[in-house]
Amino acid sequence: MIESLRIRARVANELETYIFEAPEPGRSVGPRWPARRVTECIEKRKHKLVVPYRSLLRIPESDRRPETERLSWDVWIVWKDGDYVVFFDTVTEHYGLAAWQSHDDIPTYWGVYGDLVYVLCAI
């Protein structure tokens, strides 16, 4: 329970203290978003935050890359909307996107990994 509260406080703090920094040209995929669009995305997603809970995570071999090789299979779900979830990995201290293929199974990592705002806006 203490770990869940710590992660919940971390998520709240990251969203409240987020400062928009436009990525350098060539460092992002697709068109760069203006600050207003990122702020709107954060506000839209906030209401789907959940009390963090532990979950196992399926990581397909095709999504194992150097930047995610330390990604844990034991994560904390912090956001949920339908079949999509955002998880926090306490090993790497990064967030990622996953989805349930079936609700009788565990969520499957979708290859999106980074800071909380990046992952929330990737949905």
Tokens linked to 8: 């919940």
Cα separation, 29 vs 44, in Å, equals: 22
Global pTM value: 0.87
In the chain, where the domains are located: 2-22+29-122
- pLDDT 10s digits, 54-72: 999 888 776 666 666 667 7
CA 94-99-101 angle, to 5 degrees, is: 150
- pLDDT 10s digits, 67-119: 666 677 889 999 999 999 999 999 889 999 999 988 778 999 888 888 999 99
Q: How many CB atoms lie within 10 A of CB 36?
A: 9
Residue 43 DSSP code: H
Residue 49 burial (C-beta neighbours within 10 Å; 0-12, 13-18, 19+): middle
In three-state secondary structure terms, 41 is helix
